[in-house]
Chains A and B, each alone.
Chain A
């Protein structure tokens, strides 16, 4: 009976040690994954900021002006009605 109890205690101790070891290494892996996620999030945030800055109307109009584009004072309108396409100017 006593040897059975000692055996049980030994087995449970081994299980506990192995679970603790798994948890510890799992924690390290989780930490690494979290770091990697944060790095991707950081990279995404930087890229998103860059895209928004380049795609803003404020930035586009400044570039257009620099490239010599000017606003048309005579608006032209193209209307497609069925098979007939009509270009109008005013």
Chain B
């Protein structure tokens, strides 16, 4: 009797264990798969793609928004004649007949094959009207740029990540990608046995969220104006490239930023990768004479010199270490005053200033002006070349007139703007406001980065810069009746350990009106061929733009000067 009891017990025990194991397998190990299969039986799971946030200019007009577009796909099993289908689609999709035909022939065993994406609504309608069997469409949103390539390098572009999802690269699209992209969601559309939709609560819980929108400080008319004038300038002076940025020195708001050559963000893949980066924040160069006012103002700020102090070493080239430092035109002015050192852009005078300042004060000043460090502008791709660790006397001397030291254009514009803002250096920024999909706004406030100068020193230097514009080398291009502070720059380009004597980076930096600046602007003309000097190339572009900006702001001339 006992063995029968044990066999029965073992039988039921093993059966119970087997059932438990199977239940564990289905309910724990395969739970997710079964759940998915169950959902598939009673409904469709749909991935909800968020709409990318818009990027709008200060006047709320979008510079980058989204538009309806379609992915065109085919079911090769339903296509009767592949070649005639390819011929019909070719003109509407602007694709070769051979390309479409090759896609279809290579996938005859499949039920779904993508032909092309980004097809405009009008073309989709045309194709739909042709009633071609086996051709279908998937709706989506793609980036649309109403102002075409305006501010392309500032905006960046939208490509794809490793999973094929939209991802922003470079500029604003790159820097604010997490804000702009939103969040993907999934929803289940529940259906009954007849395939009819059933009212379901699950639809409300997709988790999808559209991206946040950015409102820029960019003033669209100014951006448009700057791009037109810069293009004209590059063409007129036969230059290789050019850059301009306009900034409000009191807030750090970037009002316009343009560079050419540029690219079209709609067809970014057709352009060379090197054009994607924004040279105004990514390229470094030796700023040349545009640096002089910063060093001179520091000497005033330290009470070491005044505008009327004279230079005792400026009657001939100055010897520093084994080098002779000349003026740009080999003209020398014995006992030249400091204000005329700036007016004549006298290198020997600046060497004297650097000697009076000394290495420590000069380096401290450069740091306070933000030279050698990134400004923190809200754009992807900003670069900076740190200041050298050890300084020789020749390095101190050349840094005073902007050679042997590298800056990005944004670094220089930001530093120079402190002269127009009572000595305070602001953090440059492009976005003024972030708006969430539910309408909440996050404002970005102006931020003071440092105060390299006292208001008094900034004012003194402003007067010298107005004097320089009115009486200096670029005075022929100045706007009569306006007090504009500015300085030319003609920087040599270092090539293989020496400076190229035939090519320069010509620039002009300044602000207006000098007494209550509305804008600060840096114009860079790279390798001009009609003249190598900033006074003859960048300065006319600067004043041409300034004239229109002053009119735009409704600022009247203050008298005929």
Residues of chain A within 8 A (CB-CB) of B146 are 49, 52-53, 55-56
Number of A residues whose C-beta is below 8 Å from B? 24
**Do A31 and B197 contact each other (CB < 8 Å), given the known contacts A42-B68, A45-B67, A58-B150?**
yes
Q: Is A88 an interface residue (CB 8 A)?
A: yes
Whole-angstrom distance between the alpha carbons of A63 and B245 in the complex?
27
Q: Mark B525-561, 1 if CB is under 8 A from A, else 0.
A: 0000000000000000000000110010010110000
Whole-angstrom distance between the alpha carbons of A90 and B432 in the complex?
35
Query: Does the CB pair A57–B199 fall under 8 Å?
Result: no
Residues of chain A within 8 A (CB-CB) of B480 are 90
Q: Is A7 an interface residue (CB 8 A)?
A: no
Q: Is A46 an interface residue (CB 8 A)?
A: yes
Q: Which of B148, B150, B481 contacts A90 (CB 8 A)?
A: B481
Tell me the residues in window 173-204 of chain B with beta carbons closer than 8 Å to chain A beta carbons.
Answer: 190, 192, 196-200
Q: Mark B26-69, 1 if CB is under 8 A from A, else 0.
A: 00000000000000000000000000000000000110011110
Query: Does the CB pair A24–B196 fall under 8 Å?
Result: yes
Query: Does the CB pair B144–A49 fall under 8 Å?
Result: yes
**Do A27 and B200 contact each other (CB < 8 Å), given the known contacts A58-B147, A58-B148?**
yes
Residues of chain B within 8 A (CB-CB) of A27 are 190, 192, 196-200
Query: Does the CB pair A46–B68 fall under 8 Å?
Result: yes
Query: Does the CB pair A23–B199 fall under 8 Å?
Result: yes
Whole-angstrom distance between the alpha carbons of A31 and B44 in the complex?
13
Q: Is B424 an interface residue (CB 8 A)?
A: no
Q: Is A30 an interface residue (CB 8 A)?
A: yes
Tell me the residues in window 1-57 of chain A with beta carbons closer than 8 Å to chain B beta carbons.
Answer: 23-24, 26-28, 30-31, 42, 45-46, 48-49, 52-53, 55-57
Tell me the residues in window 51-107 of chain B with beta carbons closer than 8 Å to chain A beta carbons.
Answer: 61-62, 65-68
Residues of chain A within 8 A (CB-CB) of B62 are 52
Residues of chain B within 8 A (CB-CB) of A46 are 68, 121
Query: Does the CB pair B557–A57 fall under 8 Å?
Result: no
Which of A45, A55, A57 has the most chain B CB atoms closer than 10 A to its own CB? A57
Residues of chain B within 8 A (CB-CB) of A70 are none
Considering the complex, give the chain B residue whose CB is closest to the CB of A44: B68
Considering the complex, give the chain A residue whose CB is closest to the CB of B139: A42
A41 to chain B, nearest CB (A): 9
Whole-angstrom distance between the alpha carbons of A31 and B189 in the complex?
10
Q: Is A64 an interface residue (CB 8 A)?
A: no
Q: Which of B68, B197, B479, B556 contacts A88 (CB 8 A)?
A: B556
B416 to chain A, nearest CB (A): 25
Whole-angstrom distance between the alpha carbons of A39 and B288 in the complex?
59
Whole-angstrom distance between the alpha carbons of A30 and B200 in the complex?
10
A87 to chain B, nearest CB (A): 11
Query: Does the CB pair B198–A24 fall under 8 Å?
Result: yes
Whole-angstrom distance between the alpha carbons of A12 and B279 in the complex?
74
Considering the complex, give the chain A residue whose CB is closest to the CB of B479: A90
Q: Which of B68, B148, B200 contacts A56 (CB 8 A)?
A: B148
Q: Is B220 an interface residue (CB 8 A)?
A: yes
Task: For the A-B complex with A49-B67, A58-B148 known, give 5 more contacts whose Cβ atoms are closer than 8 Å.
Answer: A24-B198, A45-B66, A49-B146, A57-B150, A75-B551
7 A-B pairs with the lowest CB-CB distances in the bound complex, closest first:
A52-B146, A26-B199, A27-B197, A27-B198, A31-B197, A27-B199, A56-B146
Question: A residues touching B (Cβ–Cβ < 8 Å)?
Answer: 23-24, 26-28, 30-31, 42, 45-46, 48-49, 52-53, 55-58, 61, 75, 77, 79, 88, 90
Question: What would 16 A/B residue contacts be, using CB atoms closer than 8 Å?
Answer: A23-B198, A24-B192, A27-B200, A28-B196, A42-B68, A45-B66, A45-B141, A52-B65, A55-B61, A57-B220, A58-B147, A58-B224, A79-B556, A88-B556, A90-B480, A90-B557
